[in-house]
Amino acid sequence: MACNTATCQSGGCYKDTDAEQQHPINEQNPSTNGVAPSEDNNHHPSNLCLKCKTNKSIAATAAAENGGRFCVDCFRGNLFGKFRFAVTSNALISPSDNVLVAFSGGPASRVALQFVHEIQHKAQKNFDASASRDRSLPVFGVGAAFIDESAICPVSSNEFDEALEDMRLIVTNLAPPRKKFHVVPIESVYSSDCCNGRDRLKELLNAVSDVTGREDLLVHLRMLCLQKIALENGYTKLVIGSCTSRIACHILAATVKEESTGSPLAWFMPNESPALEEGKLAERWDSIAVGGDADLEELEKQMDLKAEASRFFLEGRGYSLAADIQYVDARWEIPVVLPLRDCLMQELNVLCMLDSLKTVEVFNGSRVGINGLVTSFVKLLQEENPSRECTIARTAGKLTPFHFNKIPEADDCNDHLAIQRRQKKFNLKPNESLPPESFCPICSSPLNNSFTSVSGCENGHRSPEDFIATCCTSCQFQILPSEPSALGHFCSILPQQIVDQAKDGSCGNQRWLREQIKDCLLSDSEDGT
């Protein structure tokens, strides 16, 4: 499912040595790996396409391991097939949709745009060809969006204009049907009445001291920006070009970024070790030989208290990982779909090369900190075993997804769509016996602990401490500043959407709690405390 079964040798480490053993045998016994023996095999054993067995396979480069087994047509067909299968079997795009494709200019999003165009084009042809009385289903609309990050990552205006022109041309050429191309600066996450969005954004990112945290915050802001574009322009789905390779990196990065304070780990943090009275420590060590352990009791008591207090803290990434890597992510107002989830980056690169799909690199895409380390680690693993990315993605694919990892049921009736949106926003489902999922306002990861801080959201004033309590611990650690004064300032310059999400989330929980216990409440009036 996650990989091309014909060529993928995934199966974990166990296959590694076998694979090595088999390669020398391949020449003599090609049937083990599926290459059909033929008369002229004696001269060129692996030159024919695996699939059609007639055309010559693409010359195998060091990277195009998969491409090397197929001919051009079969390779393209195979890749497009994976895309189309993902779309149809998960109902990613329906006829009434208006689809926005996030287009960065890179190969993955270029292929996403291309493939989405192809199915739209086909749908349009069918529509035109069918008689008017048969035209029950409309053709879905497609647009493309590019996020201009020059506020953060300056590029020379010449380069930028040229790149933009190239992208505009690409989108224009993908017609009919015509597609709109939206170019939106990232500072638009701040509302338009805020005149210094650019400065505020720079200030916000500079307030994050951890490089990894800064990079991750930017990713979240990018998504907010895309959501905004989609909402303001009447789109109903957001397509992003995340491929297997990118997902594999995300899986490992998420695994290493977890942090929880709801366990004995709480008291491992610096500056939070229980402070022992002066002189007692020395005494303690002397008394050990004698057997006096009074200070140890003190130490233990303090640790007990700390562990107790931290039990209500929230947990992060390992729990939420499954949410990010499915075909559908319907946490958002506009559901996000990943039709290229089963395609490898190198396959996408090969396709761009074969079909001369122009790609544009505008901003420097190299990653730093933990993300950069993970990317180079996965690259290393992939070189050592070409099916590694598939295996990683498949392993994480076995984690239990969330209820929002499928397309929400909606009638085609537009009235219901609005109701659906509101329901999703407040996480109210009539027959849910579980507390509604709450999400971190910054990164939107689902939170494991339903008892978030339910301090007064009615009066509208939220202290920075209230805000922190609604965030996942990963964001608390790597994004939010630790100094109280810096934290207060940080909260004040966050985009409004993030602040609102924090408020809505905890209000939603409070409402749910009240709903559960309303029979036991004595008075009808709101609890003022």
Partner 1 sequence: MEEAQMVEVVKSKEHGGRIRQCTICNQRRAALKRPKTLEQICRECFYGVFEEEIHRVIVDNQLFKPGERIAIGASDSTVLAYVMSELNRRHNYGLDLFLLSVDEGITGYRDDSLETVKRNEIQYGLPLKVVSYKDLYGWTMDEIVKMIGLKNNCTFCGVFRRQALDRGAALLKVDKLVTGHNADDIAETVLLNILRGDIARLSRCTFITTGEDGPIPRCKPFKYTYEKEIMQNLNQQLRMHTLRGWITSPLNVSIYSPNAYRGFAREFIKDLERIRPRAILDIIKSGEDFRIATSTKMPEQGTCERCGYISSQKWCKACVLLEGLNRGLPKLGIGRSRGVNGERNKDVKQCGKKNIESKQCGTLDF
Q: 15 or 121: whose CB is closer to partner 1?
A: 15
Identify the residue among 151, 307, 407, 410 touching partner 1 (CB under 8 A). Answer: 307
Number of residues that bind partner 1 (CB under 8 A): 69
Q: Residues 416-455: x/- map of binding to partner 1 (CB under 8 A)?
A: --------------------------------x-------
Q: Which is nearer to partner 1, 225 or 249 (CB)?
A: 249
Minimum CB–partner distance for residue 187 and partner 1 (Å): 29
Query: Cβ 208 to partner 1, closest distance in Å?
Result: 14
Give 146 or 319: the residue with its C-beta nearer to partner 1: 319
Identified binder of partner 1 from the candidate list 1, 6, 12, 492, rule CB under 8 A: 12
How many CA atoms lie less than 13 Å away from 442 in the CB half-sphere?
A: 28
Closest CB 327 distance from partner 1, rounded Å: 17
Kindly give the residue spans of alpha helices, DSSP state H, lying in 233-368: 244-256, 280-290, 294-310, 317-324, 345-354
- Which range, of 27-35, 40-48, 190-198, 377-385, touches partner 1 by CB under 8 A? 377-385
Element of type H or E holding 377: helix 369-384
Close Cβ partners of 200 (under 8 Å, ≥ 6 residues apart)? 187, 190, 194, 493
b/e per residue 5-38 (b: at least 16 CB within 10 A): eebbbbeeeeeeeeeeeeeeeeeeebeebebeee
Report how far Cα 162 is from the mean position of its chain's Cα atoms: 29
Preceding omega of 185 cis (within 30 degrees of 0): no
DSSP string, 120-151: HHHHHHHHHHS-GGG--SPPPEEEEEEEE-TT
- Taking residues 333 to 372 in sequence order and writing x for each that binds partner 1 by CB under 8 A, - otherwise, the string is ------------------------------------xx--
- Report the residue number, 48 or 323, with the smaller CB distance to partner 1: 323
375 binds partner 1 (CB under 8 A): no
Among 32, 36, 268, 309, indicate the residue that binds partner 1 (CB under 8 A): 268
> Angle at CA 18, nearest 5°, toward 14 and 23?
150
- Residue 384 in contact with partner 1, rule: CB under 8 A: yes
What's the start-to-end Cα distance of the chain, in Å? 53
Instruction: Give the span between the Cα atoms of 481 and 156, in whole angstroms.
Output: 32
Residue 264 binds partner 1, judged by CB under 8 A: yes
Site for partner 1 contains 296 (CB under 8 A): yes
Inter-axis angle of helices 369-384 and 211-232, to 10 degrees? 90
Beta carbon nearer to partner 1, 252 or 330: 252
State the minimum distance, in angstroms, from the CB of residue 212 to partner 1.
7
Taking the complex as a whole, how short is the minimal distance between the CB of residue 293 and partner 1, in angstroms? 7
**How many Cβ atoms from other residues are within 10 Å of residue 515's Cβ?**
10
Are 341 and 243 in contact by the 8 Å Cβ rule? The answer is yes
How is residue 445 annotated by DSSP?
P
- Residue with Cβ nearer partner 1 (271 or 414): 271
Residue 359 to residue 357: CA distance in whole angstroms: 6
Decide whether 359 or 387 has the Cβ nearer to partner 1: 387
Q: Where in 308-337 is the site for partner 1 (CB under 8 A)? A: 315-319, 321-322
Exactly one of 247, 392, 440, 443 binds partner 1 (CB under 8 A); that residue is: 392
Site string for partner 1, 275-294 (x = CB under 8 A): xx-xx-xx-xx--x----x-
Choice from 186, 207, 229, 254 touching partner 1 (CB under 8 A): 254
383 binds partner 1 per the rule CB under 8 A: no
Selected binder of partner 1 within 133, 398, 461, 518 (CB under 8 A): 398
Neighbours of 379 (CB within 10 A): 15
Question: Do 52 and 67 touch, CB atoms closer than 8 A?
Answer: no
| Residue 318: HSE in the Cβ half-sphere, 13 Å Cα cutoff | 7
Nearer to partner 1, 83 or 319 (CB): 319
Are 83 and 366 in contact, with CB atoms under 8 Å apart? Answer: no
CA distances from 440 to 7, 418, 467, 475 (A): 40, 24, 10, 8
For residue 100, the surrounding DSSP H or E stretch is strand 98-102
Nearer to partner 1, 24 or 430 (CB): 24
- Tracing tokens 């996030």 back to the chain, one arrives at 102
Q: Which is nearer to partner 1, 46 or 448 (CB)?
A: 448
- Cross-sheet strand order for the sheet of 98-102: 180-185, 141-148, 98-102, 237-239, 336-337, 328-329
DSSP 483: S
Q: Name the minimum Å distance from CB 214 to partner 1.
A: 14
Query: Would you tell me which residues interact with partner 1 (CB under 8 A)?
Result: 10-18, 21, 212, 251-252, 254-260, 263-265, 267-271, 273, 275-276, 278-279, 281-282, 284-285, 288, 293, 296, 299-300, 303, 307, 315-319, 321-322, 369-370, 373, 377, 380-381, 384, 388, 391-392, 394-396, 398-400, 448, 477
